[in-house]
Structure 1
Amino acid sequence: MATIKDVARLAGVSTSTVSHVINHTRYVSEEISTRVQAAVAQLNYAPSAVARSLKINTTKTFGMLVTVSTNPFFSELVRNVEHACYQQGYHLILCNTEGDVERLQSHLDLLLQRRVDGLLLMCTETNHHIAGWFERFGSVPTVIMDWGPIQPGMDTIQDSAEEGGYLATRHLIDEGHRDIGCLTGPMQKLPAQQRWQGYQRAMQEAGLVVNPQWVLEGSFDCESGYQAMLALLQLQQRPTAMVAGNDMMAMGLISAAAEHGVRVPDDLSIVGYDDIPFARYMTPALTTIHQDTARIAAVAVQTLLERVQDKQQADRTVMMKPSLVQRASVRRLSPTV
């Protein structure tokens, strides 16, 4: 494998001149630059990314730590983050924690040793551990995305989850529903808590009583939605509508309902959350709360770039506003209901 010394020897210049030509760090005459570039091409020379990063103090890479999820929302978000990084001239190193704190620490050690310019965190298991790790490695520009902890010295991109839960419930109320249940996500997770709070706010604002039998806790997956529907089927009195904490649980509700002769939306209206790509192709197409993954990703990457450029700037929390997408899973009831 050719080295920078081989290129310098073939071009008849110093290694520092080769470096200046490759990195555009100083003016070099056109004649010498052409010789160097010809030598690079002839020897098929590839500069060492590690050596270059040490010289210019940047690797043009970001690290991203995520907890794996079967939810397509996250895979779509990660895809958009990688695209946003690429557009800014950065490479993304993606590490999946599998919800394991030891695995997260191992990935974090590796990313910091590789001198990534910044970190994007989207994993809740960092809550009680991250501060100590960053004390060991110094200040690394970091942006917390949605499901991560809020830490001093880090910027945060958050879903306005309380507002989303409110919008979902308010839509059902506006469509004439009064008997409205809620399938929450796991309540130790902040987004689940906030969406539940939005549901409660809408119900209280409308003067409606929350029936505790219609409030169930899921796991943000299809199976927990399926099991929740089975539990509702055991009740003598059922809600006319359900707010699901995400689209995956809404899918489970719809699947179990279809298997047991409950028609959506005729017998039960359902509103989901996230607007995953599959939502429009469900039967019926799912009314849901839309989160713009492309915009979330772009804002997160831009915020991290700004933090890289100015590590002393004040902490920022950017709230992403959700919106309601109306499809076919909600039935309009008469005003007298």
Structure 2
Amino acid sequence: MARNLATGQVSIANVAALANVSTATVSRVLSGQRDKDDDISRRVKEAAAKLNYSVNFAASSLRSDVTRTIGLVIPEISEEQTPTLLLNSLSAAIREANRYLLLAIGADAERQKEDLHSLLTRGIDGLIIISSNDENLVESLDEEYKNLPIVQIGGKSLTPHINWVGTDQSEAMRMTVDHLAEQGSHAIAYLSREIESYTAADLFTTFYTQSKALDLTPDPDWVQFGPCTMERGYQAAISLFQDRRVVPDAVVCASDSIAMGVLIACKHLGLDVPEDVKIIGYGDAPACEIAQPALTSIRPMYEEIAEESVSIICDWDTNKPRMAAYQAFKPELIYRESTWSPRTGSSDMTLPGTADN
């Protein structure tokens, strides 16, 4: 067991690690600030007794248990660019708040649980989790939400006790379908992410409802589910357009990576974009601007999401109970050439980038 080299005593971090809680929780339990007699308090007291740890209240009064660090747990970064863009915004917001970032990248649910435990034992002042729908994390988070500000970004809300910040996905899909209808599309295909995702299910429901309302109900074969990769987009487009008499005139993609694959496939098949088929992505990755033609995409409000998440943590006060925050930001439609073409016979010759979004 590691000990404080200066005093030879067990540190508060050792107690936190054994009790599987944060150092802030240990401090509150042993100082009497947290008087609730529950499993958390019992674990802390048992760990302190086992390690012969006692609080030096005189020394504690001279220092703060605030570490000015914020923990961030994110999924493994893959081909999809959205996590990178959001991570950049979070890093900037944390620096602006004069805090430090402790980053943990979990490739799977088990690794994320390990990362969560590791961050909690380092005395972080707050925790941000990006789009993790692992139900096994709920118990761990529910044990900490009263002692530590926790914000989940995106995905399905794991528990009503945890703050949630993200994108209004239903509004994003409504904007997408409405935009394509305004540009003259009549038959829309949808390449969704894996249906197991809560976000995918929510988007699919809105896509179907909005398409039906605008009399754009797609052929069942035109709605497909799969990974958010360029290869998947390419292969899906080949299956949609090659050797078929009836084809869609627009493709909605769950990610920019999928949309890029569709764009490449259309060029391979000799289809003109946007005259023959319009393509719209999601995420507004940097590559969207340099694609040929430039790719229309839905841009989440990354900076606003990051700033709101950090603000919730910095403004949190353990002595002032509050309802968990829920903030869904309306995204932007970034209007580019992949969905624009002059409409013959119409006086509405709206140019890319000049539409009223």
The one of 288, 291, 298 aligned to 1:282? 291
User: Secondary structure of 1:124's match?
Assistant: coil
Moved more, 324-333 or 294-303: 324-333
Partner of 1:25: none
The one of 142, 161, 169 aligned to 2:177? 169
RMSD: 2.5
The one of 299, 314, 334 aligned to 1:325? 334
State whether residues 134 and 140 of structure 1, in contact with CA within 8 Å, keep that contact through their aligned partners in structure 2: no
Cα distance between partner residues in 2 of 1:171 and 1:310:
47
Unaligned runs of 5+ in 1: 6-50
Cα distance per residue 1:57-77 (max 9 Å; x no partner): 111101000002322221111
State whether residues 165 and 309 of structure 2, in contact with CA within 8 Å, keep that contact through their aligned partners in structure 1: yes
In structure 1, give the amino acid aligned to 2:181: I
State whether residues 129 and 151 of structure 2, in contact with CA within 8 Å, keep that contact through their aligned partners in structure 1: yes
Partner of 2:151: 143
Q: TM-score, normalised by structure 2?
A: 0.74
Partner of 1:94: 103
Partner of 2:268: 259
The one of 219, 228, 237 aligned to 2:246? 237
User: Secondary structure of 1:231's match?
Assistant: helix
More helix by share: 1
Q: Structure 1's 135 and 197: CA in aligned 2 closer, same or farther, altered over 3 A?
A: closer
State whether residues 185 and 220 of structure 1, in contact with CA within 8 Å, keep that contact through their aligned partners in structure 2: yes
State whether residues 89 and 306 of structure 2, in contact with CA within 8 Å, keep that contact through their aligned partners in structure 1: yes
Cα distance between partner residues in 2 of 1:101 and 1:136:
18
Per-residue deviation, 1:265? 1.3
Per-residue deviation, 1:308? 4.8
Per-residue deviation, 1:191? 2.1
Cα distance per residue 1:96-115 (max 9 Å; x no partner): 011x1221111111101101
Partner of 2:198: 190
Q: Structure 1's 78 and 148: CA in aligned 2 closer, same or farther, altered over 3 A?
A: farther
Partner of 2:137: 130
Partner of 1:315: 324
Partner of 2:214: 206
State whether residues 150 and 156 of structure 1, in contact with CA within 8 Å, keep that contact through their aligned partners in structure 2: no
Cα distance between partner residues in 2 of 1:204 and 1:327:
25
Cα distance between partner residues in 1 of 2:136 and 2:69:
24
Cα distance between partner residues in 2 of 1:218 and 1:53:
55
Q: Structure 1's 335 and 109: CA in aligned 2 closer, same or farther, altered over 3 A?
A: farther
Partner of 2:165: 157
Work out the percentage of aligned pairs sharing the same amino acid.
Answer: 25
- Counterparts of 1:38-117 in structure 2, within 5 Å, are 55-69=63-77, 70-98=79-107, 100-117=108-125
In structure 1, give the amino acid aligned to 2:139: G
Cα distance between partner residues in 1 of 2:61 and 2:328:
34
Q: TM-score, normalised by structure 1?
A: 0.78
- Counterparts of 1:6-17 in structure 2, within 5 Å, are none
Per-residue deviation, 1:283? 0.8
